[in-house]
Amino acid sequence: MADSRRLTPRTDQVLAEPRIRAATGRLGERIVKAAVRDALELCRAGDLRPDDVVPAALAALPSSASSLRPVINATGIVVHTNLGRAPLSAAAVDAIAVAAGATDVELDLDTGRRGRRGRGALAALAAAVPAAEDVHVVNNGAAALALAASALATGRNIVVSRGELVEIGDGFRIPELLESVGATLREVGTTNRVSRDDYASAVDEQTAFVLKVHPSNFVVSGFTSSVGVDQLASLEVPVVCDIGSGLLARHPRLPDEPSAEASLAAGAALVTASGDKLLGGPQCGLLLGRAALVHRLRRHPLARALRVDKLTLAALEATVSGPPTPVAEALVTRPEELMRRAVAIGAAVQDVVDVCCVVSAAAVGGGGAPGVELESAAVSLDAELAAPLRLGPTPVVGRVERGRLLLDLIAVAPEADADLVAAVRRCVTAAPSPAPLAATPAQEQ
Ligand SMILES: *Cc1c(COP(=O)(O)O)cnc(C)c1O
């Protein structure tokens, strides 16, 4: 013990080491010093050789100056809320890197005057949804709905079906959101059934709009009826559709998921949606619809409080006009291809662990396409491996089902298969990692 104390390098010596100094330039002093301190602590305790202090400190450094860690999403939930919803496309990431500096987000370079903020993203959205006369972007889906209710329905009524009074997660409820901006809800129908007549008899001169909410995270089945946008559009008041997950146009694999284009074509005056669910983009809220309504929302004082930053605008434009997003790719990957990858991963780890490959039922997630099962494939391991995989240097989050840990490949980028193999091999062959270097467990959905 005394010996290892004596041989432990001094902190300033370690911090002056060229690789450690380079890391300090990249990550900042606080993070690097903490890693060095932990490694020196191990060395003093005799658990690390003096020569290994620098490599151990470097290995413990995060990949960026943010404490957010990249995770392999092997849950089989494509849009996983706890894992940050949609992973961005490479095109969107590139666009963010460009926008991070000074950009012409609100400047017209031709005239040198102020330009409309985010016009590129707005134009891309408008082009993708021809039925929308105008579009606007806010911070998230809830903000889009709050802005619509504030601008159009404060002190007035919103007519909505009882079957669509949805809690969107983490205790947030759409009816409470609408009431919080001073709108009154006129609830119609019952939990399972509502008719056009129910809506018609609730509409009066106090009605601001009829709201149709996509009950995105549950399904009502059995003796049910709901009223389509086309039928509601013949009422005297505007129809606002909260479609939730943000498909711009119909998706062949999700025939029942509403889209902005279809809702507007059916007669909706305004559509609200999230940008980071099925659209596969950054967190934002989309508002699409009639020019006069969108104009009112854009000019409302609250619009300024809900506006998005340049990074979001850049990523959104690249998402809408760039190549298919990871979410879009996941939705069309063939199950045979996923099984081929599962078999290859299984073959690469079977010498160290008991493994088999199974057909898996994946889901869209993020409150999209409730009840829809996406056929996928998974590597099936002992459930005891769930925690070590989650705590490894490349955290892997799978799904425990009937006593097995399934690593579902639908939301794993093919490029990450090698990392998955390495993570499994490491966690079954490595000794338990020392406590100071272990990560906090991820929250599971
Ligand atoms: C997800 C969702 C919301 C909330 O959108 P956020 O982007 O999470 O704020 C609102 N309505 C519906 C129907 C949703 O699915």
- Ligand 1, closest atom to CA 213? 13
What is the 255 CA–ligand 1 centroid distance (Å)?
20
What is the 366 CA–ligand 1 centroid distance (Å)?
9
- Pocket (CB within 6 angstroms of ligand 1): 140-142, 168, 213-214, 216, 242, 244-245, 274, 285, 367
Task: Among 176, 214, 216, name the best residue to mutate to test ligand 1's pocket (greatest count of ligand atoms within 8 A of Cβ).
Answer: 216
Maximum CA pair distance of the chain? Answer: 87
Look at strands 157-161 and 184-188 and give their pairing.
Answer: parallel
Nearest CA owner, ligand 1 atom 7 = 141
Among 229, 233, 214, 225, which residue's Cα sits nearest to residue 164?
214
Please report the pLDDT score of residue 414 as a whole number. Answer: 96
- Ligand 1, closest atom to CA 368? 15
Q: CB–CB of 277/368 below 8 Å?
A: yes
Please report the pLDDT score of residue 221 as a whole number. Answer: 78
What is the 277 CA–ligand 1 centroid distance (Å)?
9
pLDDT tens-place string over residues 116-168? 999 999 999 999 999 999 999 999 999 999 999 999 999 999 999 999 998 88
How many of the other CB atoms lie within 10 Å of CB of 265?
Answer: 14
What is the 312 CA–ligand 1 centroid distance (Å)?
17
What is the 64 CA–ligand 1 centroid distance (Å)?
30
Nearest CA owner, ligand 1 atom 13 = 244
Task: Among 168, 271, 308, name the best residue to mutate to test ligand 1's pocket (greatest count of ligand atoms within 8 A of Cβ).
Answer: 168
Nearest CA owner, ligand 1 atom 1 = 244
Task: Among 79, 164, 216, 274, name the best residue to mutate to test ligand 1's pocket (greatest count of ligand atoms within 8 A of Cβ).
Answer: 274
Q: Specify the CATH class of 72-80+329-444 in words.
A: alpha beta
What is the 416 CA–ligand 1 centroid distance (Å)?
29
Please report the pLDDT score of residue 100 as a whole number. Answer: 97
Nearest CA owner, ligand 1 atom 6 = 141
Please report the pLDDT score of residue 431 as a whole number. Answer: 55
**CA 397, 85, 346: angle at the middle one, nearest 5?**
30
Q: How far apart are CA 279 and CA 326, in angstroms?
A: 10
Q: Which CATH entry fits the domain spanning 90-323: 3.90.1300.10, 3.30.465.10, 2.60.120.560, 3.40.640.10?
A: 3.40.640.10
Task: Among 242, 254, 272, 312, name the best residue to mutate to test ligand 1's pocket (greatest count of ligand atoms within 8 A of Cβ).
Answer: 242
- Ligand 1, closest atom to CA 144? 9
What is the 130 CA–ligand 1 centroid distance (Å)?
23
Among 284, 261, 262, which residue's Cα sits nearest to residue 273?
284
What is the 196 CA–ligand 1 centroid distance (Å)?
25
Instruction: Enumerate the β-bridge partners of residue 357.
Output: 379
- Ligand 1, closest atom to CA 143? 9
What is the 381 CA–ligand 1 centroid distance (Å)?
34
Sign of the C-alpha dihedral computed for residues 144, 148, 149 and 154 taken in this order: positive
Q: What is the pLDDT along the chain (445 residues), one digit of tens a residue?
A: 557 778 899 999 999 999 999 999 999 999 999 999 999 999 999 999 999 999 999 999 988 999 899 999 999 999 999 999 999 999 999 999 999 999 999 999 999 999 999 999 999 999 999 999 999 999 999 999 999 999 999 999 999 999 999 888 788 899 999 999 999 999 999 988 999 999 999 999 999 999 999 987 777 778 888 889 999 999 999 999 999 888 999 999 898 899 999 999 999 999 999 999 999 999 999 999 999 999 999 999 999 999 999 999 999 999 999 999 999 999 999 999 999 999 999 999 999 999 999 999 999 987 777 778 999 999 999 999 999 999 998 999 999 999 999 999 999 999 999 999 999 999 998 755 444 444 444 443 3
Which residue do the tokens 């069309």 mark?
332
What is the 329 CA–ligand 1 centroid distance (Å)?
22
- Ligand 1, closest atom to CA 275? 7
Q: How far apart are CA 429 and CA 319, in angstroms?
A: 40
Nearest CA owner, ligand 1 atom 8 = 141
- Return the domain boundaries, the chain: 4-60, 72-80+329-444, 90-323
Nearest CA owner, ligand 1 atom 12 = 244
Cβ contacts of 386 within 8 Å, gap of 6 or more: 398, 400, 405
Q: How far apart are CA 240 and CA 228, in angstroms?
A: 12
What is the 174 CA–ligand 1 centroid distance (Å)?
9
Q: For residue 78, what are its two tokens?
A: 């494509």
Please report the pLDDT score of residue 432 as a whole number. Answer: 54
Please report the pLDDT score of residue 370 as a whole number. Answer: 77
Please report the pLDDT score of residue 444 as a whole number. Answer: 36
